[in-house]
Amino acid sequence: MEALGPLSDNGLVRLLDADGTRVADPDWEPYAEHLTPEALRLAWRLMTLTRAFDAEATSLQRQGELGLWVSCLGQEAAQIGSGTAIREPDYVFPSYREHGVALTRSVDLPQMLTLFRGLEHGSWDPAQHSFHLYTLVIGAHTLHATGYAIAMDRDGLVASGNPDKDGAVVCYFGDGATSQGDVNESFVFAAVNNAPIVFFIQNNQFAISEPTTRQSRVTLAQRADGFGIPRVRVDGNDVIAVHAVTQWALRHARAGQGPVLIEAFTYRMAAHTTSDDATRYRTRADEEKWRQRDPIARLETYLDAIGELTQEYRDSVAAEAKALGKRTRETVKSWERPPMLEMFDHIYAEPHAQVEAERAWFDRYQQSFIDEGSHA
């Protein structure tokens, strides 16, 4: 057994140092070598857009336009690094904080906010984006992801003979989620079925207020050992390394070699949600220390150093970010609540007597106000 505490910094795969210098790691280089400066600029752009959107959503919540916002600040490298390794026909099961991954799946980010404005429980068409809906019950979706992966395998989408066509599932969840029975059952089902799935833990070091030490006494990556699942632990603020390990894991899964677990060690720079007050359970010093490891700044420093980030590109991304913010604000404010009667839709796929009776009652009830004017 390794003698690592769950927050140990040892044994992390890293290809870009905290100070923005590129590190060589012969084991992982093969999975990063396709990352041209252009690809890295794209990663930087996606991370920047994610952050801009995130900031706008936070401010919309402060203004009362959203009921709640779940920020992914600080986790952009973990999300964009992995998201850019995903392709058709892979399928993604996010938790509820994967806005960066959503961007890589072409989800229209402003549209996602219907959920946080209280208009819908699920905002996008999962099939269209190969990106399942957010799941708020911690860990529940990991079993759906596993079942989906088993079904992909049955459908011949794995080890098909043409590696370019093979697919796998990527399933995201948090450090806190690892304690749930469902997550561990997912490991069981994935392992015995040799399912094509990459379990991707974003260890942002907190489950709301609880540090990872409340969930485990060894690294979360090690959890995989108990189930016979290969694993890797990566610096989650290093977008290159995250991309590389995800590439490796996906190739492994798509090739029919079964599940893999990735722990991306990162930091939740914002509070848990806009309802949370992180000052109650962690220090400014801790936050400051991690601000030094900002994943976007890290890549920026590197791109700058190799002369691949022109002012022109910066300006264009800044303009795009601003436009995204503006569109987000306008979109959210433009939304009207749909007619009340719509809450009776899609409870069942086929009519259900109880629902139909209640829908009819409510319709008459609503009409009675229109007919009689306001009650009482």
Ligand X SMILES: Cc1ncc(C[n+]2csc(CCOP(=O)(O)OP(=O)(O)O)c2C)c(N)n1
What residues between 150 and 209 interact with Mg ion by CB under 5 A? Answer: 174-175, 204, 206-207
Nearest residue to 197 via CA among 132, 246, 124: 246
Q: Which is nearer to its own copies, 3 or 127 (CB)?
A: 3
Q: Which partner, its own copies, another protein, Mg ion, none, binds residue 204 by CB below 5 to 8 Å per kind?
A: Mg ion
Interface segment toward another protein; rule CB under 8 A; list 231-239, 255-263, 290-298, 363-371:
363-371
Q: Contacting another protein (CB under 8 A), which of 138, 158, 241, 250?
A: 138
- Is residue 268 flagged as an active site residue? yes
State how far the Cα of 1 lies from the Cα of 188, in Å rounded to an integer: 20
Give residues 212-241 in contact with its own copies (rule: CB under 8 A): 213-218, 222-228, 230
The CA-to-CA distance between both ends of the chain, in Å, stands at: 71
Q: Contacting another protein (CB under 8 A), which of 288, 312, 350, 371?
A: 350
- Is residue 272 flagged as an active site residue? yes
Token reading at 233:
């632990």
State how far the Cα of 168 lies from the Cα of 241, in Å rounded to an integer: 20
Residue type, 375: H
DSSP state of 18: T
- Is residue 281 flagged as an active site residue? yes
Q: Give SS3 for 149.
A: helix
Q: Which partner, another protein, ligand X, its own copies, none, binds residue 64 by CB below 5 to 8 Å per kind?
A: none
Give residues 189-218 in contact with another protein (rule: CB under 8 A): 189, 192, 207-210, 214-215
Across the strands, what pairs with 91? Answer: 169
- Omega within 30 of 0 (cis) for the link into 211: no
Please work out the total of residues on this chain that contact its own copies, with binding judged by CB under 8 A.
26
Min dist. Cβ of residue 174 to ligand X (A): 2
Q: Contacting another protein (CB under 8 A), which of 9, 155, 315, 330?
A: 155
- Does position 154 interact with another protein (CB under 8 A)? The reply is yes
Q: Which of 41, 144, 252, 281 is catalytic?
A: 281
- Does position 209 interact with its own copies (CB under 8 A)? The reply is no
Residues of this chain that interact with ligand X (CB under 6 A) are: 97, 136-138, 174-177, 204, 206-208, 268, 272
Min dist. Cβ of residue 224 to its own copies (A): 7
Residue type, 222: Q
Q: Contacting its own copies (CB under 8 A), which of 27, 29, 106, 192?
A: 192
State how far the Cα of 6 lies from the Cα of 168, in Å rounded to an integer: 28
State how far the Cα of 359 lies from the Cα of 69, in Å rounded to an integer: 32
State how far the Cα of 128 lies from the Cα of 268, in Å rounded to an integer: 29
Q: Which of 268, 293, 298, 302 is catalytic?
A: 268
Q: Where are the beta strands (DSSP E) in 121-211?
A: 169-174, 197-203, 206-207, 210-211
State how far the Cα of 201 lies from the Cα of 180, in Å rounded to an integer: 13
Residues that bind its own copies (CB under 8 A): 1, 178-182, 184-185, 188, 191-192, 194, 213-218, 222-228, 230
